[in-house]
Structure 1
Amino acid sequence: MKIVISHNSALEYWRSSTPPQQDSSCTAKARTLDRQQPSLAQIENLGLRQYGVLSEPVHVLARGSKARKPTGKAVHHTSIIELPEGALVGIATCGSGKLYVSSPELCFIQMAGQFTLPQLIELGFEFCGLYSLTDNDPRGFFPRHPLTSIEKLRKFSDRSGGLHGTKLAQRALRFVVPNAASPRETALTMLLCLPCALGGYGLDKPELNFRRNADRRNRRLSDKSFYRCDLCWPERKLAVEYDSDLHHTGSERIASDSRRRNALTSLGMTMLSVTKKQINNYTEFDRASRQIARHLGKRIQPRSKDFVSKQFELRAYLLGRTISPKSGYEGDAPQ
């Protein structure tokens, strides 16, 4: 029997701090679903906690048009169409059956059926970024390599026209930027770059954690062969750094940041910074955003009459989720 963990449970699996497990005997190209829906006893016997699936109800997927009645322990989803290639990832052999999980690409579309557009865009940043959200770390996230890419998500959605959530997923992908290293980088980018109708300032999308190579002269100045810029618009030679409270404090760190900024400035880059205090204060963030816009040669001209209310809606969602009450620490991208 094939049991497929899907939707919220698949998201929990991919957010697990345990390295994702895959069973080579279960082909990742499998896409045919069983018509038989697993019983609650079969689901409970899977030992899903070892795969990072801790919450109930457990979401499972099978083929058909009528699902079993949801319980507090399990939610059964059904699909009447054959899934696209790459929809399922095999993770274990359980007795005489196989355990699968929705791939990040399928999970993204499945969550589109439950998330708002800003939530789905944020999830796209996470899946294509260098971190995963977690409740098991005081920062609220842990670093890891990307689960997928915008190109993979786009190609998969193009083959998934019959799946619920595909259209919203395709719309969300227009606004996703890869390589964010933390939830705060995601929030900052969304606040700056989402269209005004969604509460952003409509700025051009930057490159996140952009690598700027140093020349020989600058290597002598700071002993570094390259630098990472949080948000960068290379064609404008503009870099915006997010300065968290903890990550950029202390005399040694301040001195290191100063050397780094000086080196990047000598390479012709304009360096701007946005602090946690600025992001949290609407007026200060508005000033910082308009300063960034001027350097990009862009005028912020929202046409929507409810622009400010949309801004506050977006801020309430993003900042309420990403502020760490313990430290505000943002962490480093995995190398």
Structure 2
Amino acid sequence: MALFIGHSSALEYWRTHPLGRPPARLSHSPSLANATTGIREITTFPCKMLGMRESPLHILTASSSGRNRSKRVVCHVLSQPMPAGSFVKVGKNLYVASPELTFFLMASQLPIPELTLVGYELCGYYRLSNDAPSGFVKARPVSSAAKLLAFTNRMQGFAGVKKARRAAEFLSDRSASPRETVTAALLCLPHAEGGYGLEIPQMNREVQIKEVTPAGSVAKTLYCDLYWPQHRLAVEYDSDRHHAAPRNIAHDSKRRSTLGRAGVYVVSMTNDQLKSVRDFDEAARLLAKHTGRRVRVRRDDFPARRLRLRTTLLAQPRR
């Protein structure tokens, strides 16, 4: 018998292994018909040693007939055959949902805004961590926006596919922090979710710049937190922790001046601006203007939806 880990327990696994090279996705999908659901059998697997410490443990099975009803275990039934790449093998007869399947499964537990945050995290350079003072740690991306969307499209017939596909459409790769993710989500989620509906930016992408100096032309590579290359538009998020020192402030000012001389319009975003409804609204409308669009909200309940979205997203770690 084998144990298959899914949902929030699988997400916990991916958060617990931020820098290691992830196990390869299996080219074939092992049958969930062989899944164990018995508490006695489950306790023989090293789940806690692999980082899955929260209770209850979420496991997968192919049939509701063998579901275990316990405070320690939640069984989820996936009766259809799973596509290749659904699992990684992390131990003898022990399988964890791949990042793509994890994202898809979380659609049954999370609304679109929170599901979007999970997607950014799996595609980004950080993982949330209760043990870190900042609330997150540096990490390797374990998936990409394109992979999440492609996998979701292969899950036709499964419950939650519409929501997962909708959330995947708003993702971008390479976010470096929860606050960068929150900034992108607030800007780009649709009005129906309380966002401003802007185009999806690239994140932490290279911007090649040539500067003319007395010694000649010098090539430089800079990185922008959020970048719309087609509009030469960037957002730089200034976190309280990393940008408070005078030396850092001077460095950031020089970077923005360099980007400006290269024709990139830079909008700064501080944590205080992010937390202010009025200041963020002004920044969002300025960004929209520079993309050639205007923010036209045709929902009477948009202020309430925006407040709900902000309340949800700004609960993320601050840095």
Assess if the C-alpha contact under 8 Å between 2:35 and 2:60 holds in 1: no
Q: What SS does the aligned partner of 2:299 have?
A: coil
Residues 28 and 10 (structure 1 numbering): CA distance in 2 closer, same or farther, change over 3 Å? farther
Distance (whole Å) between structure 2 residues aligned to residue 92 and residue 194 of structure 1: 38
Distance (whole Å) between structure 1 residues aligned to residue 22 and residue 210 of structure 2: 42
Residues 220 and 262 (structure 1 numbering): CA distance in 2 closer, same or farther, change over 3 Å? farther
Distance (whole Å) between structure 2 residues aligned to residue 23 and residue 181 of structure 1: 22
Number of matched residues? 319
Assess if the C-alpha contact under 8 Å between 2:12 and 2:51 holds in 1: yes
Residues 227 and 292 (structure 1 numbering): CA distance in 2 closer, same or farther, change over 3 Å? same
Assess if the C-alpha contact under 8 Å between 1:89 and 1:101 holds in 2: yes
Show the 5 A alignment for 1:173-212: 173-212=168-207
Cα deviation for residue 180 of structure 1 reads 1.1
Letter of the aligned partner of 2:100 in structure 1? E
Is residue 250 from structure 1 mapped to residue 245 from structure 2 by the alignment? yes
Residues 74 and 21 (structure 1 numbering): CA distance in 2 closer, same or farther, change over 3 Å? farther
Is residue 3 from structure 1 mapped to residue 38 from structure 2 by the alignment? no
Assess if the C-alpha contact under 8 Å between 1:92 and 1:100 holds in 2: yes
Partner of 1:152: 147
Q: What SS does the aligned partner of 1:241 have?
A: strand
Assess if the C-alpha contact under 8 Å between 1:30 and 1:89 holds in 2: no
CA RMSD across the alignment: 2.3
Distance (whole Å) between structure 2 residues aligned to residue 236 and residue 159 of structure 1: 33
Cα deviation for residue 252 of structure 1 reads 1.4
Distance (whole Å) between structure 2 residues aligned to residue 169 and residue 317 of structure 1: 18
Residues 174 and 32 (structure 1 numbering): CA distance in 2 closer, same or farther, change over 3 Å? same
Partner of 2:315: 320
Residues 156 and 224 (structure 1 numbering): CA distance in 2 closer, same or farther, change over 3 Å? same
Partner of 2:44: 45
Partner of 2:63: 64
Cα deviation for residue 34 of structure 1 reads 3.0
Distance (whole Å) between structure 1 residues aligned to residue 76 and residue 174 of structure 2: 32
Partner of 1:297: 292
Cα deviation for residue 47 of structure 1 reads 2.2
For structure 1, which segment, 36-45 or 171-180, has the greater mean C-alpha deviation from structure 2 after superposition?
36-45
What are the superposed Cα offsets for residues 31-82 of structure 1, whole Å, 9 maximum, x if unpaired?
3223452321221221212211011111111222334242121112222211
Distance (whole Å) between structure 2 residues aligned to residue 198 and residue 264 of structure 1: 32
Assess if the C-alpha contact under 8 Å between 1:214 and 1:267 holds in 2: yes
Q: What SS does the aligned partner of 2:4 have?
A: strand
Show the 5 A alignment for 1:67-146: 67-93=66-92, 98-146=93-141
Residues 56 and 224 (structure 1 numbering): CA distance in 2 closer, same or farther, change over 3 Å? farther
Assess if the C-alpha contact under 8 Å between 2:5 and 2:60 holds in 1: yes
What are the superposed Cα offsets for residues 263-294 of structure 1, whole Å, 9 maximum, x if unpaired?
11121111210111111111111122222222
Cα deviation for residue 114 of structure 1 reads 0.9
Residues 208 and 54 (structure 1 numbering): CA distance in 2 closer, same or farther, change over 3 Å? same
Letter of the aligned partner of 2:253 in structure 1? S
Structure 1: runs of 5 or more not aligned: 324-329, 331-335
Point out 4+ residue stretches in structure 1 off by more than 6 angstroms: 21-24, 218-221
For structure 1, which segment, 148-157 or 104-113, has the greater mean C-alpha deviation from structure 2 after superposition?
148-157
Cα deviation for residue 216 of structure 1 reads 5.3
Partner of 2:12: 12
Structure 2: runs of 5 or more not aligned: none
Distance (whole Å) between structure 1 residues aligned to residue 160 and residue 281 of structure 2: 33
Residues 79 and 274 (structure 1 numbering): CA distance in 2 closer, same or farther, change over 3 Å? same
Assess if the C-alpha contact under 8 Å between 2:210 and 2:219 holds in 1: no
Q: What SS does the aligned partner of 2:32 have?
A: coil
Assess if the C-alpha contact under 8 Å between 1:35 and 1:64 holds in 2: no
Among 263, 268, 280, the alignment partner of 2:258 is: 263
TM-score by length of 2: 0.93
Residues 266 and 306 (structure 1 numbering): CA distance in 2 closer, same or farther, change over 3 Å? same
